[in-house]
């Protein structure tokens, strides 16, 4: 059982089947439309497995104050999609920290990406989302902030991989390259996917080590010195 059901999860489900879901599971609009088209019905049942899901965590600020806060920012190219995603985040129970912009008037994407990235790095937000027209520039800018691992995602698979393998804490989206419905599903999967740890933790630790060496102005390590 999982906290978010997407259209991709229905590919292996037979038409007319009844699917058991945990109470509180989020069904994305595309998944719901596909289920209706193929006659798939849902049956909800409470389960203790959902207690650890970030999407279904208690809303009490006393328990985990930042686990419900998502910082979001966009330049003029991503403004309209930002506003739509804000609505989805609120519907899913998150507190939204809007770092701008507030219109389609031209602004510089590095300023907005940095604002959201710094909110995550300072611990003011649990995760961050940054948007511009293509997503590339904002991803580059956000990754300049120490402690931030921003991932430009363009489908559910990259969203899941960025969380499972890279422990990405900032999601970057290209508003003019990603339809709003797809962006919503990408965001839902990205928020619900936990970091896998294990061998991936070692690699994330090496990313952090690069940051530390850069901060200390140490030369890159290309191998052991010859004595």
What share of the chain in percent tops pLDDT 70?
82
Give CA separation, 194 vs 2, 40, 55, 169, 219, in Å. 11, 27, 11, 11, 34
Q: What is the pTM of this model?
A: 0.71
Is the confidence at residue 63, as pLDDT, over 60?
A: no
List b or e across 35-70, with b for residues whose CB sees 16 or more CB atoms inside 10 angstroms: beeeebeeeeeeeeebeebbbbbeeeeeeeeebbbb
pLDDT exceeds cutoff 60 at 155: yes
Burial of 24 (0-12, 13-18, 19+ CB in 10 A): middle
In angstroms, the CA 190 to CA 197 distance is 16
76, 88, 165, 200: the catalytic one is 165
Q: What tokens does 106 get?
A: 């031209």
* Contact between 192 and 70 (Cβ < 8 Å): no
Residue 219's pLDDT band, with cuts at 50, 70 and 90, is: low
Check: CB of residue 133 under 8 Å from CB of residue 82.
no
Type and span of the H or E element at 96: strand 95-98
Q: Domain boundaries in the chain? A: 4-52, 69-199
Q: Is the pLDDT of residue 140 over 90?
A: yes
Rounded to whole angstroms, the Cα distance separating 87 from 174 reads: 18
Q: What is the CATH number of domain 69-199?
A: 3.40.1400.10
Q: How much is the pLDDT for 134?
A: 98
Cα dihedral sign for 68, 74, 77, 83?
Answer: positive
139 secondary structure, DSSP code: H
Q: Does the annotation mark 200 as catalytic?
A: no
Is residue 66 within 8 Å of residue 123, measured between CB atoms? Answer: yes
CA distances from 34 to 4, 7, 29, 37, 168 (A): 15, 7, 9, 5, 29
pLDDT, tens only, 157-192:
999 999 999 999 999 999 999 999 999 999 999 999
Average pLDDT over residues 111-126: 95
Tell me what the mean pLDDT of segment 30-48 comes to.
72
């Amino acid at each position: 059982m999982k906290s978010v059901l997407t259209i991709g999860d229905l590919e292996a489900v037979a038409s007319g089947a009844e699917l058991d879901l945990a109470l509180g599971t989020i069904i994305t609009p595309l998944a719901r439309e596909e289920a209706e088209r193929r006659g798939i019905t849902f049956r909800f049942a409470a389960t203790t497995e959902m207690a650890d899901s970030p999407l279904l965590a208690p809303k009490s600020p006393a328990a985990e104050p930042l686990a419900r806060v998502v910082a979001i920012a966009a330049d003029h190219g991503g403004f309209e999609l930002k506003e739509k995603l804000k609505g989805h985040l609120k519907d899913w129970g998150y507190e939204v920290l809007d770092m701008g912009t507030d219109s389609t008037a031209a602004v510089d994407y590095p300023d907005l990406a940095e604002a959201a990235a710094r909110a995550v790095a300072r611990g003011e937000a649990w995760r961050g989302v940054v948007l511009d027209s293509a997503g590339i520039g904002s991803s580059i800018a956000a990754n300049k902030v120490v402690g931030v691992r921003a991932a430009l995602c363009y489908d559910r698979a990259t969203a899941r991989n960025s969380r499972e393998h890279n422990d990405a804490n900032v999601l970057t989206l290209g508003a003019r390259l990603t339809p709003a419905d797809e962006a919503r599903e990408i965001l839902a999967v990205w928020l619900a996917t936990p970091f896998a740890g294990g061998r991936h933790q070692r690699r994330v630790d090496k990313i952090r080590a690069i940051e530390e060496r850069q901060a200390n102005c140490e030369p890159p390590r290309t191998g052991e010195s010859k004595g």
